């Protein structure tokens, strides 16, 4: 019998789309490998094969990756019991982050829900989700590390063993609901839901101008701008970029601006901001995409003064991740979370209503209760 060995053991240059991940999500894939099986390999379970080859990775991590569909043989997801054969191409991605080498920071968090497996927060404006690009302080991760160390009420997990795992994220100046995994198992099951797009997410956005249709769908590939790599644009012919779909419904018309509710079918970076700019309705206050300029020809002095006051009250994009629904990774209960619009957002809507003499839609103020539905 030939000696078993691995011909190749290299980092996997993976395409995030292959795993159903988008640009905001795939940065959470912390370890990725591809292995080519030797021609002398005997039939062996894939989980055992990987555990023998990847000595620094625990069997439980491999098991969780397999359950989530992150272990593929010849580009097809397999079960842990799959028997590897000579020349099989095995790829594995491990989504749970390594223990962060960061300092806990006492940053206030608006915690909506917490148990020993997950924590759901209503993120405030100005808080970066994850360290990066020289920004290693004052982030959500720093705040969570402090919370887990000093304030967590977890009963089944020791706070020292908990580390935050961001399954998704929202922009620094976007407010709203986020779910964070506290254990590897919870992270794996949540990640599976996000890449299978079985979660439900609704955003509220205030955009410039009067959106013509009461409801609609924006379809357009999104790619980095060739002139500014920090920005994104819509590629009309779809020749480059990644497919993106945003559904919207008008909630309130002010003439000056329109309040819309958005449901994402995909989750590309800056998707809502880029899609509405492409539609000709840049998000109000979005300095990055030009939404902080008065979009009206020859405005009167009173109008100009009014808009300037509004922009000063909300010096960021008017975007709020209002609801999030998913299946709890352990209890398998359907979890739904809804949040009120932040005060600065509501202040702008109130001023808009007063200035344009319209009555605010009561639906704007309503919050659906947090609930659980047992789907087992």
How far apart CA 4 and CA 113 sit, in angstroms, is 49
DSSP state of 213: S
Token pair belonging to 269: 């970076």
Chain center to CA of 155: 27
Handedness of CA 270, 17, 184, 56 (dihedral sign): negative
Catalytic site includes residue 115: no
Give me the DSSP letters along 158-196: -GGG---EESS---TT-EEEEEEESSHHHHHHHHHHHHH
Catalytic residue among 171, 173, 286, 338: 171
Residues 6+ apart with CB under 8 A from 227: none
How far apart CA 118 and CA 104 sit, in angstroms, is 18
Coil/strand/helix, residue 144: helix
How far apart CA 232 and CA 241 sit, in angstroms, is 10
Place of tokens 């000595």: 55
Place of tokens 């982050």: 97
Which residue in 304, 291, 229 sits closest to 258, CA to CA? 291
Question: Which residues are identified as catalytic?
Answer: 171
């Amino acid at each position: 019998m030939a000696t078993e060995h691995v011909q190749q053991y290299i980092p996997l240059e993976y395409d995030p789309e292959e795993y159903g991940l988008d640009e905001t999500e795939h940065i959470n894939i912390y370890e990725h490998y591809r292995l080519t099986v030797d021609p002398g390999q005997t039939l062996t379970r894939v989980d055992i094969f990987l555990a023998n080859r990847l000595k620094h990775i625990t069997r439980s991590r491999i098991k969780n990756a397999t359950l989530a569909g992150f272990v593929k043989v010849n580009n097809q997801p397999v079960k842990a019991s799959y028997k590897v054969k000579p020349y099989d191409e095995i790829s594995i991605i491990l989504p749970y982050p390594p223990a962060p080498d960061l300092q806990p920071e006492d940053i206030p968090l608006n915690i909506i829900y917490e148990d020993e497996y997950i924590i759901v927060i209503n993120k405030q404006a100005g808080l970066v989700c994850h360290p990066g690009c020289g920004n290693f302080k004052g982030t959500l991760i720093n705040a969570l590390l402090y919370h887990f160390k000093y304030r967590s009420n977890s009963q089944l997990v020791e706070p020292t063993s908990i580390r935050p795992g961001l399954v998704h994220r929202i922009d620094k100046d976007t407010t709203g609901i986020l779910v964070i995994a506290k254990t590897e198992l919870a992270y794996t099951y949540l990640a599976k839901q996000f890449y299978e797009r079985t979660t439900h997410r609704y955003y509220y956005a205030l955009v410039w101008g009067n959106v013509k249709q009461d409801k609609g769908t924006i379809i357009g590939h999104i790619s980095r701008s060739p002139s500014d790599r920090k920005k994104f644009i819509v590629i009309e012919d779809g020749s480059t970029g990644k497919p993106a779909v945003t559904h919207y419904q008008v909630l309130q018309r002010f003439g000056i601006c329109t309040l819309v509710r958005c449901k994402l079918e995909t989750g590309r970076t800056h998707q809502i901001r880029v899609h509405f700019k492409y539609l000709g309705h840049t998000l109000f206050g979005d300095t990055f995409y030009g939404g902080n300029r008065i979009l009206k020809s020859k405005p009167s002095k009173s109008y100009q003064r009014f808009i300037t006051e509004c922009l000063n009250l909300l010096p960021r994009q008017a975007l709020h991740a209002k609801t999030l629904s998913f299946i709890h990774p352990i209890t398998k209960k359907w979890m739904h979370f809804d949040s009120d619009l932040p005060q600065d957002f509501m202040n702008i809507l109130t001023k808009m209503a007063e200035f344009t003499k319209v009555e605010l839609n009561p639906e704007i103020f309503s919050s659906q209760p947090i609930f659980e539905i047992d789907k087992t």
